[in-house]
């Protein structure tokens, strides 16, 4: 009896608690994909950065919790109370231009009350990582690429730094990471997100036909060079079809029937669009979906197949 009790306590002690936080804000705010803007209509989707970090942190020694204070309309006080209740060892929080001041105020309060490591993802943190970490001593690091599987070993042990992470080391020194850290032949293949942790029933867009809806990214960055757009500064990487299939399987298991493809440009390659459509047809998921496409590509080449695979709406840029 004694042995069982001790084993239970030891196992509990070894579990690392990680909180994925989309901080509160008075307006419906979308912070993801290194961008931040208010919802101009009746649309809000799951923050994709946190989704993919949740997949990359899938590990038997990690217990994850998600607070999406935006879609759940939680106040700062409520969020702080929930964090105190959960007692995380690590917090990964989003931040963005529109909410930057209130985000930093909240995170400073949290760090005053909870002894934990605190990491941030978002555009302002990524612009000047050294200046950011110097100005906000409560932040322990910045994740520059939510697709990177190396987030897991770093979270388990902060000495395992990675090229996609800016970090304050235990001796106080700072190492700098970057977004475009991968060589041409290195392709990040994230584990499927932990969709069950997110309040999927609360996400929707006016163009989604069904609920629950998932937001999926099959490629990172964009090959076009529009100067006003953050995606133009990111190298283009395509996830493998096998890697996307794992995510489709996970989405399907979680009862999702609608997908909003969040790729900056879904049709960067006709061959790839065909492969994704053929996968959806072969596995008979029954998804309905929408995506962003670029008008420079000859859309007629893939329209019929896309429609057959469940596409009902495209947003043309």
What residue ranges bind ligand SF4 (CB under 6 A)? 222, 224, 226, 229, 231-232, 264-265, 294, 317
Give exposure, 143-182, as e/b (b: 16+ Cβ within 10 Å). Answer: bbbbbbebbbebbeebeebbbbbbbbeeeeeebebebebb
Nearest to 218 by CA among 176, 194, 187: 187
Torsions phi, psi of 245, nearest 5? -60, -40
Nearest to 126 by CA among 194, 179, 205, 65: 179
Torsions phi, psi of 260, nearest 5? -110, 105
In the bound state with ligand SF4, the residue whose beta carbon lies nearer, of 83 and 222, is 222
In the bound state with ligand SF4, the residue whose beta carbon lies nearer, of 261 and 285, is 261
Q: Which residues neighbour 82 within 8 Å (Cβ) at sequence distance 6 or greater?
A: 67, 74
In the bound state with ligand SF4, the residue whose beta carbon lies nearer, of 108 and 234, is 234
Q: Which long-range contacts (CB under 8 A, 24 or more apart) does 71-78 make?
A: 71/22, 71/28, 71/44, 71/199, 71/202, 71/203, 72/199, 72/202, 74/24, 75/24, 76/23, 76/24, 76/102, 76/106, 76/109, 78/24
Instruction: Work out how close the CB of 230 gets to ligand SF4 at its nearest, in angstroms, rounded to a whole number.
Output: 7
Query: With contact defined as beta carbons under 8 Å apart, do 95 and 101 qualify?
Result: no
Instruction: Work out how close the CB of 177 gets to ligand SF4 at its nearest, in angstroms, rounded to a whole number.
Output: 23
Instruction: Work out how close the CB of 204 gets to ligand SF4 at its nearest, in angstroms, rounded to a whole number.
Output: 22
Instruction: Work out how close the CB of 219 gets to ligand SF4 at its nearest, in angstroms, rounded to a whole number.
Output: 11
In the bound state with ligand SF4, the residue whose beta carbon lies nearer, of 153 and 317, is 317
In the bound state with ligand SF4, the residue whose beta carbon lies nearer, of 37 and 201, is 37
In the bound state with ligand SF4, the residue whose beta carbon lies nearer, of 155 and 231, is 231
Distance from chain centroid for Cα 72: 17
Instruction: Work out how close the CB of 25 gets to ligand SF4 at its nearest, in angstroms, rounded to a whole number.
Output: 24
Instruction: Work out how close the CB of 228 gets to ligand SF4 at its nearest, in angstroms, rounded to a whole number.
Output: 7
Sequence-ordered alpha helix ranges (H) in the chain: 2-14, 48-56, 76-86, 100-113, 123-127, 129-135, 151-156, 241-253, 270-283, 300-308
Query: With contact defined as beta carbons under 8 Å apart, do 135 and 113 qualify?
Result: no
Instruction: Work out how close the CB of 43 gets to ligand SF4 at its nearest, in angstroms, rounded to a whole number.
Output: 18
In the bound state with ligand SF4, the residue whose beta carbon lies nearer, of 79 and 231, is 231
In the bound state with ligand SF4, the residue whose beta carbon lies nearer, of 25 and 220, is 220
Instruction: Work out how close the CB of 226 gets to ligand SF4 at its nearest, in angstroms, rounded to a whole number.
Output: 3
């Amino acid at each position: 009896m004694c042995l069982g009790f001790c084993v239970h306590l030891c196992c509990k002690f070894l579990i690392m608690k990680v909180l994925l936080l989309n901080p509160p804000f008075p307006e419906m705010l979308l912070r993801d994909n290194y961008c931040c803007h208010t919802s101009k209509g009746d649309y809000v989707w799951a923050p994709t950065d946190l989704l993919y970090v949740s997949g990359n942190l899938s590990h038997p020694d990690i217990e994850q919790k998600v607070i999406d204070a935006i879609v759940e309309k939680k106040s700062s006080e409520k969020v702080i109370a929930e964090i105190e209740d959960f007692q995380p060892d690590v917090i990964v929080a989003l931040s963005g231009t529109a909410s930057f001041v209130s985000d930093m105020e909240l995170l400073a309060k949290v760090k005053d009350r909870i002894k934990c490591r605190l990491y941030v993802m978002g555009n302002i943190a990524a612009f000047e990582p050294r200046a950011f970490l110097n100005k906000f001593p409560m932040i322990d690091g910045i994740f520059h690429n939510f697709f990177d599987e190396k987030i897991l070993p770093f979270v388990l042990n902060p000495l395992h730094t990675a090229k996609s992470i800016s970090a304050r080391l235990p001796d106080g020194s700072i190492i700098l990471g970057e977004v475009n850290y991968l060589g041409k032949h290195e392709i990040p293949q994230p584990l499927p997100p932990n969709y069950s942790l997110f309040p999927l029933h609360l996400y929707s867009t006016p163009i989604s036909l069904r609920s629950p809806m998932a937001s999926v990214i099959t490629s990172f960055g964009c090959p076009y060079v529009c100067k006003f757009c953050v995606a133009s500064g990111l190298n283009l990487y395509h996830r493998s079809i096998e890697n996307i299939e794992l995510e489709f399987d996970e989405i399907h298991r979680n009862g999702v029937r609608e997908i909003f493809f969040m790729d900056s440009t879904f049709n960067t390659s006709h061959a790839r669009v065909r492969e994704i459509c053929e996968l959806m047809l072969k596995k008979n998921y029954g998804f309905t979906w929408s995506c962003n496409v670029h008008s420079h590509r000859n859309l007629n080449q893939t329209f019929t197949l896309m429609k057959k695979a469940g596409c009902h709406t495209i947003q043309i840029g």
